Structure 1
Amino acid sequence: MFLMIAFTVGFIMAFSIGANDVANSMSTAVGARAITVRQAVIIAAILEFLGAIMFGSHVVTTITKGIVKPEVMNDAKAVLAGALAALLGSSIWILLATIWGMPVSTTHSIVGGMAGFGIASAGLNAINWSKMISIFASWILSPLAGWLLAYVMFKLISYAILRKPDPVSAMKKAIPVIIFTTFFIICFLFMLKTLKMKATKSFLISLIVSIVASLAGTLLLRRLDTNSSDNYEFVEAVFKRLQVMTSCYVSFSHGANDVANAVGPLALIYWIVSYGSVVQKILVPTWLLALGGLGISVGVLFLGYKVMKTVGEEITQLNNSRGFCIDFSTASTVLIASVLGFPISTTHVVVGSVVGVGMARGVELVNVGVLKNILISWFATVPVAAFASAGIYLLVYRFI
């Protein structure tokens, strides 16, 4: 019975991750009218599921994420209650934020859930506060990094292409460099973060793939119709194709990387119920990854449009070139952070990048009211998830 409850709660967590985090992958493409909302949720649902099944980590560190000290994790009964409470507490907050239309970090939510369980179980001393400080720092660093890179990227594209007397000719000259750089960032990030390859090997493979993609893509994109009366139509058509590709990559890699937020705690519960012991690392069966992937996909289909609308349409007005700058800046920021080992929130980077592109065109073009609500939801994430988790833990622990 406890396992059935746990599986249900795990599915709800995966559902909430899909409903909220889909904005990271598809919001800019929808906001720029590269694809429709219907197309976005279908593409994202399929790619999130495939990412979870094909590359979702079979070995995950337990839900502690370094937040709760190891000595607190020895009592199997407390860990069972804590894992369930962390899942349910963070799910409640993510779903509330999604209904509100606010993009929040699902990783920070599960961190808040774990912190709530740890404090309720063993007091403030149970928490690794140095780890918590690094997470708080990422609230500031993530959006600032995304903002800065997107701002610079859009200014460069404006200078090199959009403001030239002949944007079509400028775009044709820039196509090889843009395609090469885009593919290099995507390949390098995927191999380094998702496939866990060494940096040197990832770099060399990415270099080869990028050169081939640049040559092939340049030949294909130069066949686009350039006889339009609007000089910018060709430019936007190129960025549209690149943006759809980058959005698909982010969605696929998200399914692979973030499914652990839902199935990690669930796998821990399954392990304890099956074997009666607490371990620091868990082998996650494929069917659990499939459950997480399915939950993420269903969340995308039913509620993904809400946060997608906020990020893609309500912060600032987007087109394909702006949307590409956002996607490129997000992927680049996450790659740099992964190489350097810095904790970073993709959700926060995306929002920072959207603001960066908006401010590059003029501060007055950024919707400050929506931005204020997003910031409130970010700072509420850890404490709200922690309080919800602590309350649920105290209730569940009594009945196990």
Structure 2
Amino acid sequence: MPRTEGPGFDTLHKDLDRLSHTEIAQMHAFRPVWRLGLSVLGLVGALMLVLALSGAAPGLVAVGSGLVVAAWLGMAIGANDVANSLGPAVGAGAIRILPGLVLVAVAGIAGAVLAGDAVTARLAGGIVKLVPLVDGTQASMAMLAALVGAASWITLATGVGLPVSTSHSIVGGITGAGAVTLGIGGVAWGTVAMIASVWVVTPVLAGAIAAGLLVLLRTQVVDAADRGAAALRWLPAMVALMCGLFAAYVTLLVVQSPLQLWVELSAAAAASVVGLLVTRRRVLRELAEHPRKPSIKRLLRPALLAGVVILGFAHGANDVGNIAGPLSVILQERGGGAVGPVPTLVLLGGGLSIAAGTLFFGRRLVNMVGSGITKLNAGRAFCVSLATAVTVLGASHLGLPVSTTHVAVGGVFGVGFAREWLDRRRNRPPADMPVEETQRRILVRRSHVMTITLAWLVTLPTTATLGAVTCALIFWLTGI
């Protein structure tokens, strides 16, 4: 039966449908990276076998194979998640695709280098403390097994059309490889449980933030009696606050001096002024061109552009740990010693691999996601993007790896429920629709919850098993 649409219909089911289209688009756009992944896994397998049979040093096997797998994982991350950062802004016309890809790539590198050390350190030594409990060769081989196990699952899952998280995969891979190396008791199961609980909490938190932002945007701007005056009053202030807080956060990461507070406040003030002036100019131009009915889509372009930078930075800060965490152990000097500070070059290399995936493979995906079929409304996209960025940055600061996509889905749910609450509050009666359509919408919502839950439940034990099997196989091949 065809759908019946009306002004009172909620929009959550539409956004969830768009997410379904986005997931399908990701699978199609990810095919070149998937084929590359198959080649990488085959190359690494052959490399390990040849080096093992030739009697080469196990450390050489770990470094060579680890660099290859880590580079592919970084490109996969950059290719698959770029739509979360760039899709809304491209769909709203705030930026063209090519400059947007460059902007996301640069922001991701900055996030990886400036804020990626906390998540990297957690993955390098917070789940299993391989160094100095085992010799450097065993530690390197265990982390190589974790990378191979995660990469194998991501490649397999992508091939069968199951969207999974790189962060979930690498945590599982490290857990399984660490259990083989140190025994079950060598795994910090409390840390694993904490990380897993954060995977549940962060989508809910993002939903709450996105809902609050939407309520503010709807009540104070969209539904205001004088939309133009309301936009001039609220939007520049919102963007100024975004830019100021982000500048303060970055300054906190970079500046280490007795004058840090004053430098932080100065940077926040300068960024706030720039954000305020740019947004105010955009709003005044829109009001001059369309005084009777200014477009929220055009009004929000500066905010969406700021969201691209912040979300790209957050993405780099959190996801670089998936590469740099295991790789920092593999590249360490062998022979004992505690895990030191994460080398900046490792973070930079991880950021560059993510940026390469964004630039080389991201255009096709953003084209699909930014099309009229899959894009979110500009206002809802702004709320989801900002909520996702804030949540992911917070998790990164605490050293907790999370799934950017799952956090974004939580934001979509929050926005959808907030719209329904606002409609009920205004006593807007829902339009009549068939029972079949009502049931379909319930199923759409349940399907997304089940997809996230299934990915969360399946990925961790699967990648732990793959990491354990790969680790045992590597130890056998190399005679460790």
TM-score interval for Structure 1 and Structure 2 normalised by the shorter chain: 0.7 to 0.9
Per-residue displacement from partner, 1:185-220 (whole Å, max 9, x unpaired)?
Answer: 32233344x548699568634542344225423542
Query: In structure 1, how many angstroms separate the alpha carbons of the residues matched to 2:459 and 2:263?
Result: 34
Structure 1 runs not aligned, ≥5 long: none
Equivalent residues in 2 for 1:223-242, closer than 5 Å: 223-226=284-287, 227-228=289-290, 231-233=293-295, 235-242=296-303
SS at match of 1:108: helix
State the SS of the aligned residue for 1:281: coil
Q: 1:307-342: per-residue Cα shift (whole Å, max 9, x none)?
A: 768987899861221111112222333455567x48
Identify which of 243, 253, 272 aligns with 1:183: 243
Q: Is the 8 A contact 2:127 2:188 kept in 1?
A: yes
| Unaligned residue ranges in structure 2 (runs of 5+) | 1-59, 422-440
- Cα distance, 1:253 vs. partner? 4.3
Amino acid in structure 1 at the alignment position of 2:338: V
Helix, strand or coil: the match of 1:6? Answer: helix
Report 1:309-388 matches (<5 A): 318-334=376-392, 341=398, 343=400, 345=402, 347=404, 348-362=406-420, 364=441, 367-368=444-445, 369-388=447-466
Say if 1:102 and 1:28 are closer, same or farther in 2 by CA, change over 3 A: farther
Q: Which residue of 1 aligns with 2:477?
A: 399
C-alpha distance in structure 1 between counterparts of 2:129 and 2:181, whole Å: 12
- Of stretches 30-39 and 259-268 in structure 1, the one that deviates more from structure 2 is 30-39
The partner residue of 2:141 within 81, 85, 94 is: 81
Which of 158, 163, 169 is the aligned partner of 1:109? 169
Q: In the alignment, what sits opposite 2:320?
A: 259
In the alignment, the residues of structure 1 paired with residue 356 and residue 385 of structure 2 have an alpha-carbon distance, to the nearest angstrom, of 24
Amino acid at match of 2:415: V
Of 178-187 and 309-318, the range deviating more from structure 2: 309-318
SS in 1 for 2:128: coil
CA-CA distance at 1:168 after TM superposition = 1.7
What CA distance in whole angstroms lies between the structure 1 residues aligned with 2:119 and 2:201? 29
The alignment covers a number of residue pairs equal to 394
CA distance in 1, matches of 2:94, 2:170: 32
Report the residue type matching 1:345 in the other structure.
V
**Per-residue CA distance 1:247-296 (angstroms, 9 max, x = gap):** 12321343355334313322322224xx443531255263x444323321
Larger mean Cα displacement after TM superposition, 368-377 or 314-323: 314-323
2:24 counterpart residue number? none
**SS of 2:290's equivalent?**
coil
Q: Deviations over 1:146-173 (max 9, x none)?
A: 0111112101111111112321221011
Partner of 2:467: 389
Tell me which amino acid in the other structure corresponds to 2:385: D
Residue 112 of structure 1, CA deviation: 1.1
| Aligned-partner residue type, residue 323 of structure 1 | A
Q: Distance in 2 between matches of 1:142 and 1:376?
A: 16
Aligned pairs (5 A) from 1:67-146: 67-69=127-129, 73-97=133-157, 104-146=164-206
**Structure 2 vs 1, CA of residues 237 and 219 (structure 1 numbering), >3 Å: closer, same or farther?**
same
Distance in 1 between residues matched to 2:190 and 2:263, nearest whole Å? 31
Deviations 1:93-119 (A, max 9, x none): 334455667664433322211101112
**Kept after mapping to 1: 8 A contact 2:317/2:396:** no
C-alpha RMSD of the superposition: 3.7
Which TM-score applies when normalising by structure 1? Answer: 0.82
Cα distance in 2, alignment partners of residues 284 and 241 from structure 1: 35
Structure 1 residues 285 and 5 mapped into 2: Cα distance closer, same or farther (>3 Å)? same
For 2:358, give the aligned amino acid: V
Q: Contact (CA 8 Å) 2:177, 2:464: kept in 1 or not?
A: yes
The one-letter code sitting in structure 2 at the alignment partner of 1:108 is: H
360-369 vs 116-125, which deviates more?
360-369
Give the SS at the match of 2:286. coil
1:183 CA displacement: 1.2
CA shift in 2, pair 1:222/1:23, >3 Å? closer
Alignment-derived partner of residue 284 in structure 1: 343
**Contact persistence 2:245–2:268 (CA under 8 A):** no
Alignment of 1:35-50 (within 5 A): 35=95, 40-49=100-109
CA contact (8 A) 2:118 2:399 kept: no
Is the alpha carbon distance of 1:109 and 1:138 closer, same or farther for their aligned partners in structure 2, counting shifts above 3 Å? same
* 1:98–1:251 Cα change, 3 Å: farther
Question: What's the secondary structure of 1:74's corresponding residue?
Answer: coil
Q: Which amino acid aligns with 2:290?
A: S
Q: Which residue of 2 aligns with 1:217?
A: 278
Name the SS of the counterpart of 1:231 in structure 2. Answer: coil
Name the CA distance, whole Å, in 1 between partners of 2:70 and 2:234: 46
CA shift for structure 1 position 54: 7.0
The 8 Å contact of residues 59 and 281 in structure 1, kept in 2 or not, is answered as no
**C-alpha separation between the residues in 2 aligned to 1:314 and 1:160?**
27
C-alpha change, 1:170 and 1:334, in structure 2 (3 Å) is: same
Instruction: Give the Cα–Cα distance (whole angstroms) in 2 for the partners of residues 29 and 366 of structure 1.
Output: 29
Counterpart position of 1:296? 354
Residues in 1 aligned to 2:336 and 2:267: alpha-carbon distance in whole angstroms: 42
For residues 118 and 138 of structure 2, what CA distance do their matches in structure 1 show?
24
Q: Residues 316 and 388 from structure 1, CA distance in 2 versus in 1: closer, same or farther, beyond 3 angstroms?
A: same
In 1: Cα distance, 2:107 partner to 2:220 partner: 34
Q: 1:337 to 1:84 in 2, by over 3 A?
A: closer
Q: Give the Cα–Cα distance (whole angstroms) in 1 for the partners of residues 256 and 70 of structure 2.
A: 29
In the other structure, the counterpart of 2:27 is none
Identity rate of aligned residues, in percent? 30
Counterparts in 2 of 1:33 and 1:176: CA distance versus 1, 3 Å = closer
CA distance in 1, matches of 2:95, 2:454: 30
